[in-house]
Amino acid sequence: MVHFTAEEKATIMSLWGKVNVEEAGGEALGRLLVVYPWTQRFFDNFGNLSSASAIMGNPKVKAHGKKVLTSFGDAVKNMDNLKGAFAKLSELHCDKLHVDPENFRLLGNVMVIILATHFGKEFTPDVQAAWQKLVSGVATALAHKYH
Protein backbone atom coordinates (compact mmCIF):
# COMPACT_ATOMS: atom_id res chain seq x y z
CA MET A 1 0.00 0.00 0.00
CA VAL A 2 1.35 3.43 -0.90
CA HIS A 3 2.21 5.67 2.02
CA PHE A 4 2.38 9.45 1.78
CA THR A 5 4.50 11.56 4.09
CA ALA A 6 2.96 14.68 5.59
CA GLU A 7 5.11 16.70 3.25
CA GLU A 8 3.92 14.81 0.17
CA LYS A 9 0.29 15.25 1.20
CA ALA A 10 0.79 18.97 1.70
CA THR A 11 2.54 19.27 -1.67
CA ILE A 12 -0.26 17.44 -3.43
CA MET A 13 -3.10 19.31 -1.76
CA SER A 14 -1.50 22.68 -2.29
CA LEU A 15 -1.20 22.11 -6.04
CA TRP A 16 -4.65 20.51 -6.32
CA GLY A 17 -6.20 23.61 -4.80
CA LYS A 18 -5.03 25.60 -7.80
CA VAL A 19 -6.23 23.19 -10.49
CA ASN A 20 -9.21 24.10 -12.66
CA VAL A 21 -10.75 20.64 -12.59
CA GLU A 22 -13.10 21.21 -15.51
CA GLU A 23 -10.38 22.53 -17.83
CA ALA A 24 -7.67 20.14 -16.75
CA GLY A 25 -10.00 17.15 -16.97
CA GLY A 26 -10.90 17.87 -20.56
CA GLU A 27 -7.27 18.42 -21.42
CA ALA A 28 -6.12 15.22 -19.72
CA LEU A 29 -8.66 13.00 -21.43
CA GLY A 30 -8.15 14.81 -24.72
CA ARG A 31 -4.39 14.35 -24.66
CA LEU A 32 -4.82 10.67 -23.73
CA LEU A 33 -6.95 10.17 -26.85
CA VAL A 34 -4.52 12.15 -29.03
CA VAL A 35 -1.23 10.71 -27.80
CA TYR A 36 -2.49 7.11 -27.38
CA PRO A 37 -5.16 6.82 -30.10
CA TRP A 38 -5.96 3.22 -29.24
CA THR A 39 -7.59 4.52 -26.04
CA GLN A 40 -10.37 5.85 -28.29
CA ARG A 41 -11.70 2.29 -28.30
CA PHE A 42 -13.74 3.11 -25.20
CA PHE A 43 -15.39 6.14 -26.71
CA ASP A 44 -17.05 5.06 -29.97
CA ASN A 45 -20.11 7.15 -29.18
CA PHE A 46 -18.22 10.39 -28.60
CA GLY A 47 -18.57 11.66 -32.15
CA ASN A 48 -15.74 13.38 -33.97
CA LEU A 49 -12.31 12.18 -32.78
CA SER A 50 -10.68 12.47 -36.19
CA SER A 51 -7.93 14.98 -35.36
CA ALA A 52 -6.13 16.49 -32.39
CA SER A 53 -8.18 19.69 -32.64
CA ALA A 54 -11.43 17.74 -33.05
CA ILE A 55 -10.62 15.71 -29.94
CA MET A 56 -9.54 18.67 -27.80
CA GLY A 57 -12.65 20.63 -28.80
CA ASN A 58 -15.10 17.72 -28.49
CA PRO A 59 -17.75 18.59 -25.86
CA LYS A 60 -18.21 14.94 -24.83
CA VAL A 61 -14.49 14.61 -24.22
CA LYS A 62 -14.53 17.76 -22.10
CA ALA A 63 -17.55 16.61 -20.10
CA HIS A 64 -16.17 13.16 -19.48
CA GLY A 65 -12.75 14.55 -18.66
CA LYS A 66 -14.35 16.74 -16.02
CA LYS A 67 -16.12 13.69 -14.55
CA VAL A 68 -12.88 11.72 -14.38
CA LEU A 69 -10.87 14.51 -12.79
CA THR A 70 -13.59 15.34 -10.29
CA SER A 71 -13.42 11.73 -9.20
CA PHE A 72 -9.65 12.09 -8.94
CA GLY A 73 -10.32 14.78 -6.35
CA ASP A 74 -11.54 11.96 -4.11
CA ALA A 75 -8.04 10.52 -4.28
CA VAL A 76 -6.58 13.75 -2.95
CA LYS A 77 -9.06 13.63 -0.05
CA ASN A 78 -8.38 9.94 0.70
CA MET A 79 -4.67 9.44 0.24
CA ASP A 80 -4.54 7.11 3.25
CA ASN A 81 -7.14 4.76 1.82
CA LEU A 82 -7.08 4.84 -1.95
CA LYS A 83 -8.15 1.21 -2.29
CA GLY A 84 -11.23 1.82 -0.15
CA ALA A 85 -12.07 5.09 -1.86
CA PHE A 86 -11.95 3.55 -5.35
CA ALA A 87 -13.37 0.08 -4.61
CA LYS A 88 -16.70 0.72 -6.30
CA LEU A 89 -15.12 2.46 -9.30
CA SER A 90 -12.70 -0.44 -9.60
CA GLU A 91 -15.56 -2.90 -9.88
CA LEU A 92 -17.28 -0.67 -12.42
CA HIS A 93 -14.18 -0.38 -14.62
CA CYS A 94 -13.71 -4.16 -14.57
CA ASP A 95 -17.25 -5.50 -14.77
CA LYS A 96 -19.07 -2.90 -16.81
CA LEU A 97 -16.48 -0.80 -18.63
CA HIS A 98 -13.88 -3.54 -19.30
CA VAL A 99 -10.96 -1.11 -19.20
CA ASP A 100 -7.43 -2.54 -19.17
CA PRO A 101 -5.73 -1.09 -16.06
CA GLU A 102 -2.76 -0.09 -18.23
CA ASN A 103 -5.00 2.79 -19.33
CA PHE A 104 -5.05 4.15 -15.77
CA ARG A 105 -1.25 4.36 -15.84
CA LEU A 106 -1.34 6.14 -19.19
CA LEU A 107 -3.91 8.67 -17.97
CA GLY A 108 -2.01 9.23 -14.74
CA ASN A 109 1.15 10.12 -16.66
CA VAL A 110 -0.78 12.41 -18.99
CA MET A 111 -2.16 14.18 -15.91
CA VAL A 112 1.36 14.69 -14.57
CA ILE A 113 2.38 16.21 -17.90
CA ILE A 114 -0.58 18.57 -17.85
CA LEU A 115 0.31 19.70 -14.35
CA ALA A 116 3.79 20.40 -15.70
CA THR A 117 2.41 22.60 -18.51
CA HIS A 118 0.17 24.50 -16.08
CA PHE A 119 2.61 24.99 -13.23
CA GLY A 120 5.98 25.22 -15.02
CA LYS A 121 8.85 25.86 -12.63
CA GLU A 122 6.58 25.27 -9.64
CA PHE A 123 6.27 21.65 -10.79
CA THR A 124 9.69 20.77 -9.42
CA PRO A 125 11.14 17.24 -9.40
CA ASP A 126 10.00 16.87 -5.75
CA VAL A 127 6.46 17.95 -6.60
CA GLN A 128 6.42 15.60 -9.58
CA ALA A 129 7.61 12.71 -7.39
CA ALA A 130 4.72 13.21 -4.96
CA TRP A 131 2.22 13.29 -7.83
CA GLN A 132 3.72 10.21 -9.49
CA LYS A 133 3.10 8.38 -6.20
CA LEU A 134 -0.51 9.55 -6.20
CA VAL A 135 -1.32 8.67 -9.81
CA SER A 136 0.37 5.31 -9.36
CA GLY A 137 -1.62 4.71 -6.16
CA VAL A 138 -4.87 5.61 -7.92
CA ALA A 139 -4.07 3.32 -10.86
CA THR A 140 -3.36 0.47 -8.46
CA ALA A 141 -6.54 1.17 -6.46
CA LEU A 142 -8.65 1.21 -9.63
CA ALA A 143 -7.18 -2.14 -10.67
CA HIS A 144 -7.52 -3.67 -7.21
CA LYS A 145 -10.96 -5.24 -7.64
CA TYR A 146 -10.27 -6.72 -11.05
CA HIS A 147 -10.87 -10.41 -11.44
The whole-angstrom separation of Cα 84 and Cα 144 is 10
Of residues 94 and 127, the one with the C-beta less far from other proteins? 127
Rounded Cα distance between 21 and 59, Å, is 15
Which of 3, 96, 98, 121 binds other proteins (CB under 8 A)? It is 121
Instruction: Name the residue among 32, 41, 18 with its Cα closest to residue 68.
Output: 32
Please, what is the minimum distance in Å from the beta carbon of residue 33 to other proteins?
9
| Binding map of other proteins across residues 48-87, x = CB under 8 A, - = no contact | ----x--xx-------------------------------
Whether residue 93 is annotated as binding a ligand: the answer is yes
If one counts every other C-beta atom within 10 angstroms of the C-beta of residue 9, the result is 15
Residue type, 95: D
Q: Which of 31, 64, 66, 93 binds other proteins (CB under 8 A)?
A: 31
